Chain A
Amino acid sequence: MNTIEELVIEASGAERQYWNDLWRYRELFHILAWRDLAVRYKQTVIGVAWALIRPVLMMLIFTVVFGRIAKLPSDGGAPYAIMVLAGMLPWQFFSTALTESSNSLIQNSNLISKIYFPRLIVPAASVITSAVDLLISFSIMAVMMAFYNQWPDWRVLYLPLFIALALAAATGAGLWLCALNVEYRDFRYIVPFIVQFGMYVSPVGFSSSVVPEQWRLLYSINPMVGVIDGFRWAILRGGPQIYWPGLFVSVGLTAALCYSGLWYFRKMERTFADVI
């Protein structure tokens, strides 16, 4: 009898058991991420091309508005379009991941009220799904680089670190928002606003070097500033130097966001099925 693992369900759940479960349910994680991907472009005529069209159009508009009309300077002499794209890709990833993950629990409410699994799987799967779009849209970057004949140097090897930072920022904020969304549906309206607002306060259409030096540190409170600057540093040949204090702030805040997001999610998770 002792060989059978005994499971205890109590008012205050065991922490270790939860992480074991997360590992045990990894197949469900795969399959939910696969489902989201499979469903995303079903019954669309051009399918995956949608992952490309949005960043391309945004890049064109921002290049015209900020580069041509406002005549803002580019980073280290890189073509303005490439600089915009280097900021657009992580931003698009972040905004999609945030939107998808904050709605994920509600969209899967039928699962949550009928089946047990570590709820963390749901927002995590939607962040991963958005990351696939990011990988697809890197092909635009390759095309643009070929067009301008601007190839990155060794620094591109550091790109995965910044992708990880973007992933962490999106997960942290997503955990907060999806847990809040279960209880207060107001966040359905707040999230699109955050995303729209965020695009203008993040250095997507312009280089963060246009921000006055004394505001630079304050500006870095937005974790996406560190991510976007990092992307540009890694991708643009002869791009801007990394603004280290700003990057530290971004990384620190992202870590705090992730940690607190996880804490809040775990705290609320026990009542999701009752409230949703």
Chain B
Amino acid sequence: MSDWIIRVENIGKRYRLGRETRGSYVTLREVVSERFKGLFRSQSLGPARENDFWAIKNVCFEIKKGEVVGIIGRNGAGKSTLLKILSRITAPSTGRVRLRGRVASLLEVGTGFHPELTGRENIFLNGSILGMTRAEIRRKFDEIVAFSEIAKFLDTPVKRYSSGMYIRLAFAVAAHLEPEILVVDEVLAVGDAEFQKKCLGKMQDVATAGRTVLFVSHNLQAVSLLCSRGVLLRSGTLAYDGGVEEATAAYISSFANGSDSVESPDRRTGSGEYRFTKASPVRDYFGGAEEKTIHFEIQRRHNHVGRMWLSAFVVDSAGMIVAQCDSRLVDCLIGDCDGISGQFRLRSPWLKPGSYRIDLFICASGLVDVWEGACSLNISPILPYQNSVSEDGVKGGVVFADFSWQTGQGANQREFFAINGSSRGVPANTTFPRS
């Protein structure tokens, strides 16, 4: 007998477009009026299946006991659907999954926390929601409290916690789960850097303890650090399954194709009233210091009431967000209209040579459209400075700065240090870059 612990056999999940995917519910009125219309146009109600779409389709793989597998792919590639099927939140439309062991899924930290209840009560509540028995929680209670560092506030309602305390407590509970199979989604994306580090450390402990872990993340460094194997999903199908380095490389190169996005707008997350339909940089290569302009188009899909704004992430090849450009900061809001076209101009910082991914967002009270990897910005390897130096001179730092150095004669040195001391460590003779 083979030693798999998870075996995914040809699973698929079908959604009906414009309903489940939009996250909205139907009202009786819609159903009734649809049926009513159907009386007169009976053929239109037939198998109008062009509206169906498969979030994942024909996915097969096996995971052995003790493997730590990273699942990567763009937004809308089907990662979350796969996790939801594996953790039994939703049922597959086709195929089957066989599991040998208890599955605990951690799709969010603090699921089910109730603000009115105290920290102590929430540990029990959250613990049993995640699948621990009461005896198990009682046994690990002290450990959980110690890990969360909130012992003083154990009997305070959680609604009075700071968000940091809240997350610490929530993660402390989750970290003490001991299932045979652990399914983790993007939990590392919350909290500050220090918390993320702590989470990562705990995840590493779990991974080395011989438990089977499925880990979904956009943080490629975390994935390659934790996982030995990578599964790459693309448009709902398995694109690559093998070593984690190869999988992340394949993932990164999938963005290199730039603006001709493979994904249709309807696969993307967001409520979908408006969708970006086009995003293209005006040039194939930009100089590092040059203004980078991206043309975009937005189309209306459904009515939306209220103002919206746009946002763009500039993401480097390691998956780090170099800049977040929110249109509210520069007084640009958009109202209801049929379609919009416009430009996004990025003037600073100076980007280092390489390829950057641009993620575009339309936001209202919630996310309307999320287009990850809308296009890529290629920065030419020619440095934006007058001179060139060896690699040592430019390899530090995330971006290039617009800077200059000024020096005086040796006689002024004493004066230099004096001024320096009084102005919070900034050399007085340095001029700052301006945008």
A residues neighboring B (CB under 8 Å): 1, 4-11, 13, 27-28, 31, 35, 38-39, 42-43, 108, 110-117, 182-186, 270-271, 273-276
Contact = CB atoms under 8 A, between A and B. Distances in A.
Interface of B: 1, 3, 15, 19-20, 25-29, 31, 84-101, 103, 105, 107-108, 111-112, 114, 116-117, 121, 124-125, 128-130, 133-134, 157
Contact of A11 (B31, B89, B95): B95
A4, A5, A115 — which one has the most chain B CB atoms within 10 A of its CB? A115
Contacts of A183: 25-26
A115 B99 contact: no
A115 B91 contact: no
B125 A31 contact: yes
A114 B117 contact: no
A10 B97 CA distance: 7
Nearest to A185: B25
Among A5, A11, A110, A111, residue most surrounded by chain B Cβ atoms (within 10 Å): A11
Contacts of B27: 184-186
Contacts of A273: 84, 89-90
Contact of A111 (B91, B100, B111): B111
Contacts of B130: 115
A183 to B, nearest CB: 6
A114 B89 contact: yes
Contacts of B1: 1
A184 B31 contact: yes
Contacts of B20: 271, 274-275
B88 A116 contact: yes
Contacts of A1: 1, 3, 100
A168 B370 CA distance: 46
A4 B100 contact: yes
Contacts of A113: 89
Nearest to A28: B128
Contacts of A11: 91-96
A9 B97 contact: yes
Contact of B117 (A28, A38, A111): A38
A273 B13 CA distance: 13
Contacts of B134: 27, 31
B88 to A, nearest CB: 4
Contacts of A13: 91
Contacts of A117: 129
Contacts of B91: 9-11, 13, 270-271
Given A6-B100, A7-B99, A184-B31, A115 B112 contact: yes
Nearest to B55: A274
The 7 closest A-B pairs by CB, nearest first: A116-B88, A9-B97, A10-B96, A7-B99, A274-B20, A186-B28, A273-B90
Contacts of A27: 128, 133-134
Contacts of B94: 11
Nearest to B129: A115
Contacts of A110: 111-112
Highest count of chain A CB atoms <10 Å: which of B89, B92, B98, B133: B89
A219 B92 CA distance: 45
Contacts of B93: 11
B431 to A, nearest CB: 52
Contacts of B86: 9
A131 to B, nearest CB: 21
Q: Which of B19, B90, B96 has the most CB of A within 10 A?
A: B90
B360 to A, nearest CB: 26
Between A7, A117, A273, the greatest number of chain B beta carbons within 10 A of the residue's beta carbon is seen for A7
Contacts of B112: 108, 110-111, 115
Nearest to A4: B100
A98 B20 CA distance: 27
A109 B149 CA distance: 30
A40 to B, nearest CB: 10
A38 B107 CA distance: 26
A31 B112 CA distance: 11
A42 B116 contact: yes
Given A1-B100, A116-B105, A186-B27, 8 more contacts: A7-B99, A8-B98, A10-B91, A39-B114, A42-B117, A114-B107, A270-B90, A274-B90
B14 to A, nearest CB: 10
A114 B108 contact: yes
Contact of B92 (A7, A9, A43, A186): A9
A5 B99 CA distance: 9
Given A42-B116, A110-B112, A275 B25 contact: yes
Contacts of A35: 114, 117, 121, 125
A216 to B, nearest CB: 34
